[in-house]
Chains A and B, each alone.
Chain A
Amino acid sequence: MGSLLDVVDLQTQFVTRGGVVRAVDGVSWDVAEGETVALVGESGCGKSVSALSIMRLVAAPAGRVVGGRILFKGRDLLQLDEESMRRVRGSEIAMIFQEPMTSLNPVLTIGRQITEGLETHLGMAPTAARARAAELLSMVGIPDPARRLPQYPHQFSGGMRQRMMIAMALACEPALVLADEPTTALDVTIQAQILELMKSLSRRLGVAMLMITHNLGIVARYADRVNVMYAGKIIERGTAREIYATPRHPYTLGLLRSVPRLDEPRRARLDPIEGQPPDLTRLPGGCAFAPRCAFRVERCAVETPPLRPIGAPGHVTACWEAERLTAVREPVGGRR
């Protein structure tokens, strides 16, 4: 499998009145052709900013990619001029956003919002584009597409709108789709439907996907590999199976424990990770997770742990104490 996207040492910052927010702080990861890679972490850890950096849509002038490379099919997207980058957006890399309610234009028909991409990137004539749009709608499971095309977003439910976002994203057959928490805003029952749809479409069309989520539970089922992110950094990476079965970072462990599990329906309460993520304007030295970590040792507050291989090939963790985590996947361990 060749690498489709290679993010190398990406750094994205926001200049705010409170200081410089290091939202993405020297992050490297990659996506192979056709692969689904997850980017997981609590809210505010830099997932959306990572995706927006790849699209080069970080809100300027406050936000800026200040370092690193984003190699897509060998080209560094950060070096492209604006016009070349525009041609990449939507046609080679597409994005699906979290809020289906606000991400569609309320005053334009669904048909218009799908066909405009086709007309822009593929130079389709209006009639051909409309036919293709109808095809796309039925592909994402919207019945009676011909009747639906002239309708407006407010005439659809949240789940339906997210299906349309997916149709829009896939319209020009991109090689990569960045899905930023595509189901977070939806009902639980709808979530599974949408995820299944995305999974089957990505398989069928061979599209690679970056699946952003804060729910590690989703990851096990829908991703090939997982990057766990904390305070702007990747702190663990491995195959979904590995991460799920043998997490090697206390933060990952915490995330897993905070996921509702279907095989333990009667568990009294979930364990959210205690404490708050750090302020990204003044990160302390050492491991950013240390203040919240039950496995903390003295070294953690002073020396920042680098990503290092552990266990199975491809599994890396940024924790000095990773070895101690071996058998603590299930309850108690050293917490509390």
Chain B
Amino acid sequence: MWKYLVKRFLLMFPTLLGVALLTFVLIRVIPGDVVELRYAGDRGSVSQDVLEKERARFGLDQPLWRQFATWVLGVARLDFGESMWTGAPIWQEIRLRFALSLQVAIMATLVAVVLAIPLGVLAALKQDSWIDYAVRIFSIAGLATPSFWLGIVFILLLLVVFHWLPPMIYTPFWVSPWENLKQLIWPALAVGYRYSAVATRMTRSAMLEVLREDYIRTARAKGLVQRLILARHALKNAMLPVLTVVALEFAFLIGGLVVTEQVFNLNGLGLLFVQAVAHRDYTLIQALVMLVAGVFIVVNFLMDIGYAWIDPRIRYR
């Protein structure tokens, strides 16, 4: 068990380094850099000399390997440097947005799990009944509905029916939980619905598979009550694939909610990402990618712990 987890833990570092290298190279492949873009408005009127000086200020005149080394060594000390566009420290740029994105992702996950597990189990138990069809329609609709569109519908409904709009200004949870939730519950629901659709389908199919297993028949032959068979014997086994889907989806939500953030006027990581790329703000893009990759990797690690916790065959390897 410990060997397994330590191995998984150590594996996180080379993975992150790989991501760092890949990001570093890829964003430099996109034509144009931050200096060019900043002075693009004054094309021609700015001398080549000034541009070179600006580049030197950001260290862009250095050989690539040196730029990379400087950056990675900084990251290792958790120093991401400053934004090339605004000049503000990266951490300051990201902090609140990350808190917001993380919170929306966590809330959406809660929404998804709370919907998906009962619905998926129910659908599996009543396979091919009207309940099953209802659940399947509900989840297919969830897959087909863009979250931002659902968000717009929410806003319109709130406005038309309750003559109320969610707050437009972000209040951190630790400042006022109530104000915070009033704003974030809606995007969490909008995103959580689609998310739950994925998880519901996975729960349903995993349950259907598990319910056909020999050990379920054994449990029945023991005369256990249905509730115990489901909760103890079936669900625990069915949770493995569900855990995977939930974890991967969660990691995606951290940086992937560009349009939904716009709809709810949220300053999350998604929008920042788009802006950073538009500005060729290398340091910011790199930091964001590292952050999202970090979340991804940490979530994966937690998933591995979850696996080991559920399945003794992994734990004892």
Contact = CB atoms under 8 A, between A and B. Distances in A.
Contacts of B3: none
Given A97-B214, A106-B311, A121 B223 contact: yes
A90 B221 contact: yes
A113 B316 CA distance: 19
Nearest to A116: B224
Contacts of B1: none
A70 interface: no
A168 B228 CA distance: 17
Given A103-B217, A104-B218, A155-B316, A87 B232 contact: no
B316 A152 contact: yes
Contacts of A104: 215, 218
B144 interface: no
A200 interface: no
A55 B221 CA distance: 7
Interface-centre pick from B221, B225, B312, B316 (highest chain A CB count, 10 A) = B221
Given A152-B312, A152-B313, A155-B316, A106 B221 contact: no
Contacts of B221: 55, 57, 89-90, 94-95, 97
A107 B228 contact: no
Interface in B210-241: 213-215, 217-225, 228, 232-233, 236-237
Contacts of A302: none
A105 B224 CA distance: 14
Contact of B219 (A91, A94, A105, A107): A105
Given A106-B313, A107-B311, A155-B316, A89 B220 contact: yes
Nearest to A106: B313
Contacts of B316: 152, 154-155
Contacts of A88: 223
Contacts of A168: 218, 222
Contacts of A117: 222-224
A88 B223 CA distance: 7
Given A107-B312, A108-B232, A102 B213 contact: yes
Interface string A100-140: 00111111100010001100110000000000000000000
Nearest to B312: A152
B217 A57 contact: yes
Interface in B91-130: none
Contacts of A57: 217, 220-221
Contact of B312 (A86, A120, A121, A154): A154
Given A106-B237, A106-B313, A107-B312, A97 B228 contact: no
A30 interface: no
Contacts of B88: none
Contacts of A105: 215, 218-219, 233, 237
Contact of B214 (A103, A121, A152): A103
Interface in A59-110: 86-91, 94-95, 97, 99, 102-108
B12 interface: no
A254 to B, nearest CB: 30
Given A105-B215, A107-B237, A120 B222 contact: yes
A95 B221 CA distance: 6
A103 B215 contact: yes
Contacts of B312: 106-107, 152, 154
Contact of B233 (A55, A90, A94, A108): A108
Interface in A136-182: 152, 154-155, 165, 168
Nearest to A112: B232
Contacts of B278: none
A88 B222 CA distance: 9
B310 interface: yes
Contact of B223 (A90, A106, A107, A152): A90
Nearest to B233: A105
A89 B233 CA distance: 17
Nearest to B226: A86
Contacts of A91: 223
Interface string B33-48: 0000000000000000
A116 B311 CA distance: 19
B313 A116 contact: no
A63 to B, nearest CB: 12
A88 B225 CA distance: 12
Contact of A86 (B213, B223, B233, B237): B223
A116 B232 contact: yes
A103 B310 contact: no
A75 B262 CA distance: 69
Nearest to A94: B221
Interface in B259-317: 310-313, 316
A116 B237 contact: no
A106 to B, nearest CB: 6
Interface in B59-107: none
26 contacts: A55-B220, A57-B220, A86-B225, A87-B223, A88-B223, A89-B220, A89-B222, A89-B223, A90-B223, A94-B221, A97-B214, A97-B218, A97-B221, A103-B215, A103-B217, A103-B218, A105-B237, A106-B311, A107-B311, A108-B233, A112-B232, A116-B232, A117-B224, A120-B225, A152-B312, A168-B222
Given A99-B214, A120-B222, 18 more contacts: A86-B223, A90-B221, A90-B223, A95-B218, A97-B217, A103-B217, A106-B311, A107-B236, A107-B237, A108-B233, A112-B232, A117-B223, A120-B223, A120-B224, A154-B312, A154-B313, A154-B316, A165-B218
Interface of B: 213-215, 217-225, 228, 232-233, 236-237, 310-313, 316
